[in-house]
Amino acid sequence: MVELQINTTQNVNINFIAASVGERILAFIIDWIIKIAYIVVTYQIVFNLLEIEALVEDMDHWSQIAIYVSFYLPVVFYSLLFETLLDGQTIGKRIMKIKVVKIDGYQAALADYLVRWFFRIVDLNMMSGIVALIAIVTSKKSQRLGDMTAGTSVITLKNNVNISHTILEELDDDYIPTYPSVINLSDNDARIIKETYIRAKASRDYETLVKLRKKIVEVIELKNYNESDMQFIDVILKDYNYYTQGM
């Protein structure tokens, strides 16, 4: 079991468990089963039922190749497409409850997924995936070459967590929010705020609390507030949950 320590942009250390080699291999196999199923179904429907070969037989050689290749593009771009749409997960990764994350605290972006996808040529297609396997096993952060280049890793989502480990806050049924502009924050912002707040509060790091409060005020463009730093941040977290829990 490899533990990853991610340092966020607010200098908050968050610990994750890297996905095991077995979990990644099973996710890979599931994804390939889906790809093969797509190829079989596509062949049966397009080439047999629709008789596409008869429709393109009068076309030139390169046009025929272009049409045939277009049917299989979803297989080629499968991982890039799903990791982008499913926030770092393919269908196989989602079933195995693992996902791609950045190791610098930022949210992985299309460019990161694109780099990982491009390096599949080396990692997974050469030597039947042995390159990726060796890289994952020997890397301190369980990264294949694509992960090392993109600055990402694959973590497991199976860790047991409670409400204190998430952005969720317990609200009373009659809770009345104070700052509607908290909707300018993202889930990632709220998570970083809560992590920083909990740590600073526990260590009585009032300087960090002041900096955190100033940053929140700047982001949500707030002009007036009356609470102390701790009270203010606590209200911000509760208000964020109030406004976003139904979204």
Of 149, 92, 154, 85, nearest to 122 (Cα)? 149
Tell whether the model's pLDDT for residue 8 goes beyond 80. no
Mean per-residue pLDDT, 95-109:
84
Strands 3-7 and 98-102, sheet pairing: unpaired
- Total residue count of the chain as it appears in this document: 247
For 74-86, write each residue's pLDDT tens digit. 999 999 999 999 9
Asked if pLDDT for residue 169 goes beyond 80, the answer is: no
The model carries a pTM of 0.60
Query: What residues contact 124, with CB distance under 8 A and at least 6 apart?
Result: 28, 131, 132, 144
Of the ranges 41-50, 87-96, 226-235, the best mean pLDDT one = 87-96
Q: What percent of the chain has pLDDT over 90?
A: 26
Cβ count within 10 A of residue 244: 15
Chain center to CA of 226? 37
Question: 38-66 pLDDT, tens per residue?
Answer: 988 887 776 666 566 666 676 777 777 78
Residue 194 has pLDDT above 70, yes or no: yes
DSSP string, 166-227: SS-----TT---S-GGGGGS-HHHHHHHHHHHHHHHHTT-HHHHHHHHHHHHHHTT-----S
Categorize the per-residue pLDDT at 182 as very low, low, confident or very high, splitting at 50, 70 and 90: confident
Where do we find the tokens 């008789």? Answer: 51
Residue 164's pLDDT is 43
Residue (of 131, 129, 133, 120) closest to 75 by Cα position: 120
Percent of the chain whose pLDDT exceeds 70: 79
Residues 170-194 have a mean pLDDT of 81
- DSSP-assigned states of every residue in 72-85: THHHHTHHHHHHHH
Q: What angle in degrees, to the nearest 10, is found between the helix axes of 229-244 and 187-202? A: 150
Answer whether residue 32 shows pLDDT above 90: yes
Q: Which residues of 214-229 are buried (b: 16+ CB within 10 A; e: fewer)?
A: eebbeebebeebeeeb
Q: Per-residue pLDDT tens for 112-154? A: 999 999 998 888 766 667 888 888 888 888 899 999 999 999 9
Tell me the C-alpha distance between 180 and 239, whole Å.
7
Calpha distance 174→40 (Å, rounded): 55
Q: How confident is the model at residue 213 (pLDDT cuts 50, 70, 90)?
A: confident
The Cα 230–Cα 244 span in angstroms is 21
For residue 166, is pLDDT > 60? no
Q: Is the pLDDT assigned to residue 4 strictly greater than 80?
A: no
Work out the pLDDT band at 161, boundaries 50, 70, 90: very low
